[in-house]
Amino acid sequence: MTDRTIDMPDRQEVDATFRKVAWRLVPILMLAYVLAFIDRGNVGFAKLQFMGDLHFSEATFGLGGGLFYLGYSVFEIPSNLWLARIGARTTLLRIMICWGLCSAALAFMTAPSHYYILRFLLGAAEAGLFPGVLFYLTTWIPPSRRSQFTALFMSAIAISGIVSGPLSGAILGATDGLLGLKGWQWLFLIEGLPSALTGIVIYLVLADSPQTAKWLSARELGIITGELQSEANTGQQQRQHHFAAALRDKRLYLLAGMSVGLIAGGAGIPLWLPTILRGTGIRDSFTIGLLSAIPYIIAVVVQQLVARSSDRLRERRWHAAVPTLLCAFCWMLLPQAMSHPWMAVSLLTVMTAGYLGATGPFWTMPSLYLSGSAAAGGIALITTCGGIGAFFAPTLVGWMTTATGSLTYGLYAYGAIMALGAVVMLVGTRPNGSATATAQPHEGELRLAAKQRVDV
């Protein structure tokens, strides 16, 4: 046993280490999130067939669409706090197997009660996935790099939209009547069961922390640990470390207000996008699927550009608020575009790009104020509030659509919710000495602060 001091790594070596981390972690986490969004949003495409087969009303559809988020919200905080104790691998294994089976079971619903129960259970099964991954990334990635990692992970939302639309449209058209099952039944089966299998793959591939990652060298582990420690020390004074203390910080609730607008408005896109496109006069399911991919193709590029700008300027508030307000504006313009298919597709594209553009910067903000168990519980609380908003929004929109015979007022409601959330966040998290230390540019390059002990 000998002691040896590892020399200071240069920026290229640090960048190379985190690129290695990105290639190891992000693809498998993105796959999980792609499948999650396909399974939570494919009901919007299945709706094109099962509404007539099962004689569901728009109010029934909206309530079931929202119940997913109620189940998600009820179990999100317990799931994320449990993740901090048992690790990401076991948590994601449990989440993905349960939600995959719940999604596939929707193929056999015959009554509104079945739809309600399974959508609630689907949300309960998936609870903790998103905040759990955000918390997991805080144990690997320092704040100065986190927005890009977060946006890269969340590009899975756009990828799911690119894949899900054409895939769902093709399944609906190609499998209807196969082996006595409707196309919408095959849709749930084909898109649900792979999620359960992916959970097993994630369990085998992921490491719970850098310290348990066998694929990291001792020097790479030292670089990651040093970067995390260096930036943790920079922001140590303004962070809450315990969940109980975090609950007394008003910024937590203001971020939750933004979460309500962002999650509710964003969740409405896959839920109602196929209906909006059919409302413009398009009838073919496969064409609707192809057109629904266009907004996500543009949005995935915008998402990464906004995240890079946010990291480069070390600014989060406006990078989150401006795209959200743009999305809100497009929601409100959609009723005027319903008779013009390409105008509707254009607005849906800008709207989707705005929603996804805001995600990277916004979901980096909670970790600016929270760390330790407060980060796990605080992020889950913020997303739980967003989930509650996402429950009420489609329920309200479905009721208004049934009552008025038009989706117009529902589209206005989505826009208003998103705009209000952005304003609340901007007003409540104004820059000051205690809140935005990480928003200011660091002077010089970050370096390892301590010696690394190596066993030889």
- 144, 311 Cβ separation under 8 angstroms: yes
pLDDT tens across 254-281, in order? 888 899 999 889 888 888 888 899 888 8
Question: What class is the 11-432 domain?
Answer: mainly alpha
pLDDT of residue 366: 78
Q: What is the pLDDT of residues 39-71, one digit of tens each?
A: 988 998 999 899 989 999 999 999 998 899 899
The model's pLDDT over 10-44, given as tens digits with 9 standing for 90+, comes to 888 888 998 899 898 889 999 999 999 899 889 98
Give the pLDDT of residue 454.
Answer: 28
Domain residues of the chain, as ranges? 11-432
Mean pLDDT of 331-352: 92
Count of CB atoms situated within 10 Å of the CB of 23 = 9
| In the predicted structure, residue 318 carries a pLDDT above the cut 70 | yes
Q: Tell me: the pLDDT tens digits for 103-140?
A: 999 999 999 999 999 999 999 998 878 777 878 888 88
Reported as a pLDDT band with limits 50, 70 and 90, residue 155 is confident
62-76, 234-248, 419-433 — which is least confidently predicted? Answer: 234-248
* Mutual angle of helices 250-279 and 341-364, in 10-degree steps: 160
Helix (H, G, I), strand (E, B) or coil at 240: strand
Q: Phi and psi for 370 in degrees, rounded to 5?
A: -130, 150
Measured CA to CA, the distance from residue 252 to residue 258 in angstroms comes to 10
Q: For residue 45, which of 278, 295, 294 has the smallest C-alpha distance?
A: 278
What pLDDT score does 347 carry? 95
DSSP letter for 111, please.
S
State the burial class of residue 301 (Cβ atoms within 10 Å of its Cβ: 0-12, 13-18, 19+): middle
The burial class, CB within 10 Å (0-12 / 13-18 / 19+), for 185 is buried
d(CA 212, CA 323): 38
CB 119 within 8 A of CB 395: no
Question: If you ran DSSP here, which 8-state letter would residue 433 be given?
Answer: T
Average pLDDT score over residue span 347-374: 82
Of the candidates 218, 224, 213, 193, the residue with the CA atom closest to the CA atom of residue 89: 213
φ, ψ dihedrals at 240, nearest 5° = -95, 135
Lowest mean pLDDT among 9-13, 208-212, 358-362: 9-13
Query: How crowded is the C-beta side of 140, counted as CA atoms within 13 Å?
Result: 28
Q: Of all residues in the chain, what percent carry a pLDDT higher than 70?
A: 86
CA dihedral of residues 89, 93, 99, 100 (deg, nearest 10): 130
**Which residue reads 């989707």 in tokens?**
352
